[in-house]
């Protein structure tokens, strides 16, 4: 059992404004510096791991959204740092029911522009089969 005293807070406001992005600097210059530092940490970490394991290939899921785009850019920068061929980056996009033309095209275009390998594996039929198997509408 833990003993404590609870103050009466009736009438006091328990709400205060909280920034929507409290860890993102408000000043543009500081924000750019922070983003560059984070990107450098990611690319250096990946490059170090690739070198340690002797890997010259990675496979990355590429949806065409922001998260996978950033992950792809980290891979490209790490490969460039190590002098590895970008074709060693295998981008896999798996369009399905929720994939829009825009995100699919973004994924394909990004892989092509960056000079990475690309596999397009449509999963719509496989997902429909699995839904049928589990009686999911």
Confidence band, pLDDT 50/70/90 cuts, at residue 14: low
pLDDT at 108: 95
Q: What is the CATH number of the domain that holds 111?
A: 3.40.50.620
The torsion angles phi and psi of 52, rounded to 5 degrees, stand at -60, -40
> Is 6 within a domain?
no
Query: 111 is written with which tokens?
Result: 């892989």
At 97 the pLDDT is 86
Q: What is the mean pLDDT of the chain?
A: 92
What pLDDT is recorded for position 28? Answer: 95
What angle, 0 to 180 degrees and rounded to 10, lies between the N-to-C axes of helices 66-82 and 101-114? 10
* Cβ neighbours around 68 below 10 Å, total: 19
Domain residues for the domain of 67 are: 28-133
In which band, very low, low, confident or very high, does the pLDDT at 8 lie, cut at 50, 70 and 90?
confident
82 assigned to some structural domain? yes
What is the rounded average pLDDT of the residues 55-63?
96
Locus of tokens 């993102």: 24
């Amino acid at each position: 059992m833990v003993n404590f005293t609870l103050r009466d807070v009736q009438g006091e406001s328990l709400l205060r404004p909280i920034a929507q992005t409290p860890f993102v600097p408000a000043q543009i210059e500081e924000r750019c510096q922070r983003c560059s530092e984070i990107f450098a940490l990611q690319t250096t970490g990946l490059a170090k791991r690739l070198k340690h394991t002797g890997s010259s290939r990675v496979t990355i899921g590429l949806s065409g959204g922001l998260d996978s785009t950033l992950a792809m850019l980290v891979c490209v920068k790490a490969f460039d740092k190590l002098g590895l061929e970008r074709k060693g980056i295998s981008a896999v996009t798996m369009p399905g029911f929720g994939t829009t033309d825009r995100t699919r095209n973004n994924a394909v275009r990004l892989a092509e522009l960056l000079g990475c390998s690309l596999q397009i594996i449509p999963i719509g039929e496989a997902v429909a089969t699995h839904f049928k198997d589990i009686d999911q509408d």
